[in-house]
Structure 1
Amino acid sequence: MFGSRSSRGESVTCIACGESIPRSEAREYDKHGDRWDRRNKTFEHLCKTCFAELCQQPRDGLETTLDAAGAGEADQKTFLRRFRELSEGDARRD
C-alpha cells in the first residue's frame, strides 16, 4: 500500500523543474488521473515547490464564480465561456 521499502532511498526527477530529489521528498503525479490504481504503473514526480505552484488551485470565491457563470443553468458552451471570462478577470485583478 505504501510502496516498497527499497524505493524509499531512491532519487527521482521533478518533471517540472528537472531537479533530482529524494523520492521521500517528492509528490507523485499520475498523468492518467487515477493514482489509486497502482498495478503495472509508474509515476512521474514533482518536487514539493513545483507541486504547490502547479497543482494547488485557489478555491476562494469558487462557488460565487460558478454561480455567476450559470453552473447548472446555462448550456455547457455558455457556462465555460462565462467561467473563463470571470476567472481571467480575477487573474487581472491580482
Structure 2
Amino acid sequence: MSFRNAWHRESSTVTCIACGESVARSAAREYDKYGDRWDREDKSFEYLCKPCDRERCHSPREGLEDRLVESAVGTDSPEAFVARYLALAREAGSPVQEE
C-alpha cells in the first residue's frame, strides 16, 4: 500500500474536539495531546477544525497532561479547577495569560 492510499483512506468526517463540529478530514488538523504528531506508531489522533486550530495556542505542551490531571484532584467546581491549574502553571514557570 502506498502512502497516498493510506492518506486517502482517511478522507472521512471527523469531529473537532474544540467546538464539536463535524468536518471533512481534509478540512481538519491533527491534534496530538502529547505534542509529538510525527511519531505515528500505535497512535490515534484527535482533530481540530481549521478555525479552532488557528485560535489555539501553539506553544509547547510538555507536562500539560500531568498538570491537567493534578489540577482536577480534589476540585469540585470549574472555578477551583482553573485556580489550581493557574497556580500549578505559575509554579512550573509557564507563562499565564489571565483575562
Equivalent residue letter for 2:31: Y
Give me the TM-score of the superposition, normalised by structure 1.
0.56
Aligned positions, number: 66
Distance 1:12 1:54 in 2: 18
- What aligned pairs does 1:1-94 form with structure 2 within 5 A after superposition? 4=6, 5-7=8-10, 9-56=11-58, 80=93, 84=96
Query: If you compute each CA radius of gyration, which structure gives the higher value, 1 or 2?
Result: 1
Give the TM-score normalised by structure 2: 0.53
SS of 1:33's equivalent? coil
For residues 50 and 30 of structure 2, the distance between their equivalents in structure 1, rounded to whole angstroms, comes to 10
Q: Which has the higher helix share?
A: 1
The one-letter amino acid of 2:19's match is C
CA RMSD of aligned residues (A): 2.9
Q: Secondary structure at the match of 1:27?
A: strand
Q: Which runs of 5+ in 2 are unaligned?
A: 60-89
- Post-superposition CA distance 1:16-66 (Å, at most 9, x none): 000000000101100111111101110000001111111357xxxxxxxxx
Instruction: Return the alpha-carbon distance in structure 2 between the equivalents of residues 3 and 45 of structure 1.
Output: 20
DSSP 3-state at the match of 1:45: strand
> Does the C-alpha gap of structure 1 residues 54 and 2 become closer, same or farther in structure 2, counting only changes over 3 Å?
farther
